[in-house]
Amino acid sequence: MTIEINNLHKKFGKNKVLKGVDLSIDQGRIYAILGPNGSGKTTLIKSILGMVIPEKGNISVLNSPIKKDWKYRKKIDYLPQIANFPPNIKVKELIRMIKDLRNSPSEEASLISLFGIQTFLDKKLSTLSGGTKQKVNIVLTFMFDSPLIILDEPTTGLDPKALICLKGLIQNEKAKGKTILITSHIMQFVEEMADEILYLLEGEIYFKGTVGILMEQTGQHDFEHAIAALTSTENHA
Ligand SMILES: Nc1ncnc2c1ncn2[C@@H]1O[C@H](COP(=O)(O)OP(=O)(O)OP(=O)(O)O)[C@@H](O)[C@H]1O
Protein backbone atom coordinates (compact mmCIF):
# COMPACT_ATOMS: atom_id res chain seq x y z
CA MET A 1 0.00 0.00 0.00
CA THR A 2 1.51 3.36 -0.97
CA ILE A 3 -0.73 5.51 1.23
CA GLU A 4 -3.04 4.44 4.05
CA ILE A 5 -5.27 6.99 5.77
CA ASN A 6 -7.51 6.23 8.75
CA ASN A 7 -10.14 8.45 10.30
CA LEU A 8 -8.49 11.73 9.31
CA HIS A 9 -9.98 14.91 10.78
CA LYS A 10 -8.93 18.49 10.03
CA LYS A 11 -10.66 21.76 10.83
CA PHE A 12 -9.68 25.39 10.41
CA GLY A 13 -11.33 27.23 13.30
CA LYS A 14 -14.96 26.14 13.17
CA ASN A 15 -14.68 24.97 9.58
CA LYS A 16 -14.55 21.16 9.68
CA VAL A 17 -12.94 20.27 6.36
CA LEU A 18 -12.01 16.59 6.74
CA LYS A 19 -14.41 14.57 8.88
CA GLY A 20 -13.09 11.03 9.08
CA VAL A 21 -11.36 10.29 5.77
CA ASP A 22 -10.43 6.63 5.23
CA LEU A 23 -8.42 5.87 2.14
CA SER A 24 -6.06 3.28 0.67
CA ILE A 25 -3.87 4.10 -2.30
CA ASP A 26 -2.21 1.25 -4.20
CA GLN A 27 1.12 1.41 -5.95
CA GLY A 28 1.41 2.00 -9.69
CA ARG A 29 -1.94 3.64 -10.33
CA ILE A 30 -3.17 7.13 -11.15
CA TYR A 31 -5.74 8.54 -8.72
CA ALA A 32 -7.78 11.69 -9.32
CA ILE A 33 -8.96 13.53 -6.21
CA LEU A 34 -12.14 15.37 -7.15
CA GLY A 35 -14.76 17.34 -5.27
CA PRO A 36 -16.42 20.75 -5.25
CA ASN A 37 -14.43 23.92 -4.54
CA GLY A 38 -13.49 24.02 -0.90
CA SER A 39 -14.21 20.31 -0.33
CA GLY A 40 -10.72 19.73 1.07
CA LYS A 41 -8.71 18.28 -1.83
CA THR A 42 -5.66 20.47 -1.19
CA THR A 43 -6.05 19.98 2.58
CA LEU A 44 -5.95 16.20 2.05
CA ILE A 45 -2.87 16.45 -0.16
CA LYS A 46 -1.12 18.76 2.31
CA SER A 47 -1.93 16.36 5.15
CA ILE A 48 -0.21 13.57 3.20
CA LEU A 49 2.77 15.88 2.68
CA GLY A 50 2.91 16.84 6.35
CA MET A 51 2.24 20.51 5.51
CA VAL A 52 -1.10 20.45 7.34
CA ILE A 53 -1.27 18.81 10.77
CA PRO A 54 -4.58 16.96 11.33
CA GLU A 55 -6.28 16.90 14.76
CA LYS A 56 -7.01 13.20 14.56
CA GLY A 57 -6.27 10.17 12.44
CA ASN A 58 -3.32 8.30 10.99
CA ILE A 59 -1.45 8.52 7.71
CA SER A 60 1.14 6.04 6.48
CA VAL A 61 3.20 6.73 3.39
CA LEU A 62 5.20 3.89 1.81
CA ASN A 63 4.45 1.69 4.81
CA SER A 64 5.63 4.06 7.58
CA PRO A 65 3.53 6.37 9.77
CA ILE A 66 4.45 9.96 8.89
CA LYS A 67 4.24 11.40 12.41
CA LYS A 68 7.52 12.85 13.65
CA ASP A 69 9.48 11.54 10.70
CA TRP A 70 10.05 13.98 7.85
CA LYS A 71 12.41 11.83 5.81
CA TYR A 72 9.54 10.33 3.82
CA ARG A 73 9.06 13.71 2.08
CA LYS A 74 12.12 12.94 -0.04
CA LYS A 75 10.14 10.10 -1.61
CA ILE A 76 7.42 12.44 -2.88
CA ASP A 77 7.57 14.76 -5.88
CA TYR A 78 5.00 17.51 -5.35
CA LEU A 79 3.63 20.08 -7.78
CA PRO A 80 1.83 22.75 -5.72
CA GLN A 81 -1.26 24.54 -7.01
CA ILE A 82 0.38 27.92 -6.48
CA ALA A 83 4.15 27.89 -6.36
CA ASN A 84 5.56 30.90 -4.52
CA PHE A 85 9.09 31.17 -5.76
CA PRO A 86 11.26 34.28 -5.32
CA PRO A 87 10.42 36.57 -8.30
CA ASN A 88 13.89 38.00 -8.79
CA ILE A 89 15.83 34.84 -9.45
CA LYS A 90 16.39 33.30 -12.85
CA VAL A 91 14.86 29.99 -13.95
CA LYS A 92 18.25 28.26 -14.01
CA GLU A 93 19.03 29.57 -10.51
CA LEU A 94 15.72 28.22 -9.23
CA ILE A 95 16.43 24.79 -10.74
CA ARG A 96 19.89 24.84 -9.12
CA MET A 97 18.40 25.89 -5.78
CA ILE A 98 15.80 23.10 -5.74
CA LYS A 99 18.46 20.56 -6.72
CA ASP A 100 20.70 21.70 -3.85
CA LEU A 101 17.80 21.58 -1.39
CA ARG A 102 16.72 18.09 -2.41
CA ASN A 103 20.23 16.73 -2.76
CA SER A 104 18.91 13.83 -4.87
CA PRO A 105 19.85 12.78 -8.42
CA SER A 106 17.95 14.80 -11.02
CA GLU A 107 17.32 14.70 -14.78
CA GLU A 108 16.27 18.17 -15.84
CA ALA A 109 17.90 18.56 -19.28
CA SER A 110 15.47 16.31 -21.17
CA LEU A 111 12.47 17.95 -19.46
CA ILE A 112 13.71 21.46 -20.29
CA SER A 113 13.88 20.53 -23.97
CA LEU A 114 10.59 18.56 -23.87
CA PHE A 115 8.74 21.70 -22.71
CA GLY A 116 10.87 24.01 -24.86
CA ILE A 117 11.96 26.33 -22.06
CA GLN A 118 15.69 26.55 -22.90
CA THR A 119 15.29 30.18 -23.96
CA PHE A 120 13.79 31.09 -20.57
CA LEU A 121 16.60 29.72 -18.39
CA ASP A 122 18.25 33.16 -18.09
CA LYS A 123 14.97 35.00 -17.50
CA LYS A 124 13.72 36.09 -14.09
CA LEU A 125 10.66 34.24 -12.80
CA SER A 126 8.67 37.49 -12.50
CA THR A 127 8.94 38.05 -16.27
CA LEU A 128 7.47 34.66 -17.28
CA SER A 129 3.89 34.06 -18.46
CA GLY A 130 1.61 31.87 -16.32
CA GLY A 131 1.93 28.88 -18.64
CA THR A 132 5.73 29.14 -18.80
CA LYS A 133 5.89 29.31 -15.00
CA GLN A 134 3.80 26.16 -14.87
CA LYS A 135 6.19 24.44 -17.31
CA VAL A 136 9.07 25.37 -14.98
CA ASN A 137 7.12 23.95 -12.03
CA ILE A 138 6.52 20.72 -13.94
CA VAL A 139 10.25 20.41 -14.69
CA LEU A 140 11.01 20.97 -10.98
CA THR A 141 8.53 18.23 -10.05
CA PHE A 142 9.47 15.56 -12.58
CA MET A 143 13.26 16.01 -12.53
CA PHE A 144 13.55 13.77 -9.46
CA ASP A 145 12.78 10.09 -9.38
CA SER A 146 10.45 9.52 -6.41
CA PRO A 147 8.00 6.61 -6.11
CA LEU A 148 5.08 8.93 -5.29
CA ILE A 149 4.05 11.96 -7.36
CA ILE A 150 1.40 14.45 -6.20
CA LEU A 151 0.11 17.00 -8.71
CA ASP A 152 -2.25 19.80 -7.59
CA GLU A 153 -3.96 21.24 -10.71
CA PRO A 154 -1.06 20.36 -13.06
CA THR A 155 -2.74 21.56 -16.28
CA THR A 156 -3.18 25.20 -15.20
CA GLY A 157 -2.19 27.56 -18.00
CA LEU A 158 -0.72 24.91 -20.31
CA ASP A 159 -1.10 25.16 -24.08
CA PRO A 160 -2.22 22.00 -25.99
CA LYS A 161 1.33 20.97 -26.88
CA ALA A 162 2.51 21.22 -23.27
CA LEU A 163 -0.62 19.39 -22.12
CA ILE A 164 0.20 16.47 -24.43
CA CYS A 165 3.78 16.45 -23.05
CA LEU A 166 2.46 16.42 -19.48
CA LYS A 167 0.10 13.52 -20.17
CA GLY A 168 2.97 11.53 -21.76
CA LEU A 169 5.18 12.25 -18.76
CA ILE A 170 2.55 11.07 -16.30
CA GLN A 171 1.93 7.86 -18.27
CA ASN A 172 5.70 7.21 -18.42
CA GLU A 173 6.02 7.55 -14.68
CA LYS A 174 3.08 5.21 -14.15
CA ALA A 175 4.72 2.65 -16.45
CA LYS A 176 7.74 2.75 -14.11
CA GLY A 177 5.45 1.61 -11.28
CA LYS A 178 5.03 4.99 -9.64
CA THR A 179 1.90 6.10 -7.82
CA ILE A 180 0.35 9.37 -8.94
CA LEU A 181 -2.24 11.54 -7.19
CA ILE A 182 -3.80 14.36 -9.20
CA THR A 183 -6.35 17.06 -8.48
CA SER A 184 -7.91 18.73 -11.49
CA HIS A 185 -11.06 20.56 -12.46
CA ILE A 186 -10.58 19.55 -16.11
CA MET A 187 -12.82 16.50 -16.46
CA GLN A 188 -11.51 15.51 -19.89
CA PHE A 189 -7.98 15.33 -18.46
CA VAL A 190 -9.17 13.28 -15.48
CA GLU A 191 -11.16 10.87 -17.63
CA GLU A 192 -8.16 10.30 -19.87
CA MET A 193 -5.60 9.87 -17.08
CA ALA A 194 -7.20 8.43 -13.96
CA ASP A 195 -7.37 4.74 -13.09
CA GLU A 196 -9.44 5.62 -10.09
CA ILE A 197 -11.63 8.52 -8.97
CA LEU A 198 -11.73 9.70 -5.35
CA TYR A 199 -14.62 12.10 -4.79
CA LEU A 200 -14.49 14.20 -1.64
CA LEU A 201 -17.73 15.57 -0.29
CA GLU A 202 -18.69 16.92 3.10
CA GLY A 203 -15.38 15.90 4.61
CA GLU A 204 -15.46 12.27 3.50
CA ILE A 205 -14.58 10.09 0.53
CA TYR A 206 -18.05 9.96 -1.01
CA PHE A 207 -17.06 7.79 -4.00
CA LYS A 208 -14.02 5.65 -4.82
CA GLY A 209 -13.87 3.64 -8.02
CA THR A 210 -13.09 3.60 -11.73
CA VAL A 211 -14.63 5.92 -14.32
CA GLY A 212 -16.56 2.89 -15.66
CA ILE A 213 -18.08 2.10 -12.26
CA LEU A 214 -18.95 5.76 -11.76
CA MET A 215 -20.86 5.86 -15.07
CA GLU A 216 -22.62 2.61 -14.26
CA GLN A 217 -23.66 3.73 -10.77
CA THR A 218 -24.93 7.10 -11.91
CA GLY A 219 -26.50 5.79 -15.15
CA GLN A 220 -24.80 8.56 -17.10
CA HIS A 221 -23.10 8.24 -20.48
CA ASP A 222 -20.47 10.92 -20.10
CA PHE A 223 -18.01 11.51 -17.31
CA GLU A 224 -18.82 15.16 -16.63
CA HIS A 225 -22.50 14.38 -16.11
CA ALA A 226 -21.62 11.32 -14.02
CA ILE A 227 -19.59 13.54 -11.66
CA ALA A 228 -22.41 16.07 -11.50
CA ALA A 229 -24.92 13.28 -10.82
CA LEU A 230 -22.82 11.84 -7.98
CA THR A 231 -24.11 14.27 -5.41
CA SER A 232 -27.75 13.68 -6.29
CA THR A 233 -27.71 9.87 -5.97
CA GLU A 234 -26.69 7.43 -3.24
CA ASN A 235 -23.23 6.33 -4.27
CA HIS A 236 -21.23 6.08 -1.10
CA ALA A 237 -17.78 4.47 -1.30
N1 LIG B 1 -4.74 27.58 6.05
C2 LIG B 1 -6.06 27.68 6.10
N3 LIG B 1 -6.68 28.46 7.02
C4 LIG B 1 -8.02 28.54 7.09
N5 LIG B 1 -8.87 27.88 6.27
C6 LIG B 1 -8.31 27.09 5.33
C7 LIG B 1 -6.90 26.96 5.19
N8 LIG B 1 -6.66 26.10 4.17
C9 LIG B 1 -7.87 25.73 3.69
N10 LIG B 1 -8.85 26.32 4.37
C11 LIG B 1 -10.31 26.13 4.15
O12 LIG B 1 -10.55 24.74 4.06
C13 LIG B 1 -11.53 24.44 3.07
C14 LIG B 1 -10.95 23.44 2.08
O15 LIG B 1 -9.95 24.09 1.31
P16 LIG B 1 -9.10 23.32 0.22
O17 LIG B 1 -8.15 24.29 -0.38
O18 LIG B 1 -8.54 22.06 0.81
O19 LIG B 1 -10.23 22.92 -0.84
P20 LIG B 1 -10.12 22.36 -2.32
O21 LIG B 1 -11.07 21.20 -2.41
O22 LIG B 1 -8.71 22.09 -2.67
O23 LIG B 1 -10.71 23.59 -3.15
P24 LIG B 1 -10.51 24.11 -4.68
O25 LIG B 1 -11.27 23.16 -5.56
O26 LIG B 1 -11.18 25.44 -4.66
O27 LIG B 1 -9.04 24.16 -4.97
C28 LIG B 1 -11.95 25.79 2.48
O29 LIG B 1 -13.12 26.19 3.13
C30 LIG B 1 -10.78 26.70 2.83
O31 LIG B 1 -11.22 28.01 2.97
pLDDT tens digits, 174-221 = 999 999 999 999 999 999 999 999 999 999 999 999 999 999 999 999
In the three-class reduction of DSSP (H, G, I as helix; E, B as strand; rest coil), residue 207 is classed as: strand
Question: In CATH, what number does 3-230 get?
Answer: 3.40.50.300
Per-residue pLDDT, 212: 93
Alpha helices in the chain (DSSP H): 41-49, 91-102, 109-114, 130-142, 160-175, 187-193, 211-218, 223-230
The residue nearest atom 16 of ligand 1, judged by CA position, is 40
ipTM above 0.95, yes or no: yes
The ligand 1 atom nearest the CA atom of 13: 4
CA 191 to chain centre: 15
Q: Where are the domains of the chain?
A: 3-230
Express each pLDDT in 193-204 by its tens digit: 999 999 999 999
Looking at the chain, the whole-number percentage of residues with pLDDT higher than 70 is 98
Ligand 1 centroid to Cα of residue 43, in Å, is 6
Per-residue pLDDT, 70: 79
The residue nearest atom 6 of ligand 1, judged by CA position, is 12
Express each pLDDT in 103-151 by its tens digit: 888 999 999 999 999 999 999 999 999 999 999 999 999 999 999 999 9
Per-residue pLDDT, 233: 53
Asked if pLDDT for residue 2 goes beyond 60, the answer is yes
The residue nearest atom 24 of ligand 1, judged by CA position, is 37
What's the whole-model pTM score?
0.94
Of how many residues is the chain composed? Answer: 237
Residue 146 near ligand 1, beta carbon < 6 Å:
no
The residue nearest atom 29 of ligand 1, judged by CA position, is 38
Express each pLDDT in 5-55 by its tens digit: 999 999 999 999 999 999 999 999 999 999 999 999 999 999 999 999 999
Cβ–Cβ < 8 Å for 72, 49 = no
